[in-house]
Amino acid sequence: MLKDLIGKNITAMVTDENEQYIFAQKDGLTFRLAKAELLKLPKLGAMVSGFAYENEDHELQLTKKQPKSGFYRYAWGSVKKVQRGLGVFVDIGLPNKDVVVSADELPELQNLWPKQGDQLMIALKVDEKGRLWGELATTEMFKAIQVAATKKMMNRDVTATVYRLKLVGTYVITDDYQLGFIHPSERDLEPRLGEKVKARVIGVRPDGTLNLSLRPRAYEAIGDDAQMLLAALEHSLDGSLPFTDKSDPTAIKAYFGISKGQFKRAVGHLMKAGVVVQRDGHLYLVKK
């Protein structure tokens, strides 16, 4: 039966050829194998082996190129196309074939479906009709490959891929294979499945899982004027400037090029963020 051959490495007998392909039969089914993949062309009656699948033109095909994913073997694949109602097509390295991750495995909200270029970790499965599908890696699978994080990662920036969406929050795995969790309060928008996000470590759990935030650090969220003041403090000799919100407006305008009102708002933002203090007529950078 077709479902017993698809998605597996099989050996078949060469029965024919044309300019581009040789054709080989197995259990009454004929598969094509690109001549470009072969170092030496086999004779009629010889046996050839390869990975069996149905290509995008619904032709049975063999390839010497082993796909990244397999049965019970998970690997990252890149999303190539999204088809509403069906699912997403993922490249796992097969010629003329991207495998579909069914809509049944994807979020109910289509705006949270992966987009082209997003990454999904999938294995392969075959249905009763012999069709090859992609299967999302389970939470248990991600836990099996997890690298435990340490306390040294506190406040670090990480890049991570979203692998599970839940009402309680977003589950991700970093590029270094630490698992992470993003609570809804630590994001403005819910990331989509497969999306690559840049996050900040705000906690390390005893089991080595990271608590992450997609929100900027307080001083990163401040406006341009505050950023300019911060840069001026960082480039001063001792991390201080002879200005406060009580300074003369003309002196503030001459030095910073902004009004006293703008200066006071900028100082207020920096103080709220905990990165500056005012003392003895000076503005000081708080040393962490």
Phi, psi of 133, deg, nearest 5: -130, 155
Q: What are the structural domains of the chain? A: 2-63 (2.40.50.330), 75-137 (2.40.50.140), 143-213 (2.40.50.140), 219-285 (1.10.10.10)
**What pLDDT score was predicted for residue 108?**
93
Quickly tell me which residue has 């010629």 as its tokens.
95
**What pLDDT score was predicted for residue 223?**
77
User: Given the DSSP bridges, would you call strands 87-94 and 75-83 parallel, antiparallel or unpaired?
Assistant: antiparallel
User: Given the DSSP bridges, would you call strands 210-213 and 240-241 parallel, antiparallel or unpaired?
Assistant: unpaired
Integer Cα distance of 160 and 148 in angstroms? 15
Q: Which two tokens stand for residue 222?
A: 């401040």
| Residue 85, number of CB atoms within 10 A of its CB | 6
**What pLDDT score was predicted for residue 274?**
85
Integer Cα distance of 210 and 208 in angstroms? 7
Q: Strand order of the sheet with strand 282-285? A: 240-241, 282-285, 276-279
| Residue 39, number of CB atoms within 10 A of its CB | 5
Angle at the Cα of 282 (from 279 to 288), degrees rounded to 5?
Answer: 70
Q: What is the pTM of this model?
A: 0.76
Give me the percent of the chain exceeding a pLDDT of 90: 81
DSSP 8-class letter at 160: E
Integer Cα distance of 41 and 34 in angstroms? 10
pLDDT per position in the chain (288 positions), as tens? 899 999 999 999 999 999 999 999 999 999 999 999 999 999 999 999 999 999 999 999 999 999 999 999 999 999 999 999 999 999 999 999 999 999 999 999 999 999 999 999 999 999 999 999 999 999 999 999 999 999 999 989 999 999 999 999 999 999 999 999 999 999 989 999 999 999 999 999 999 999 999 987 766 666 788 888 888 888 888 889 999 989 999 999 988 888 999 999 989 888 888 889 999 999 999 875
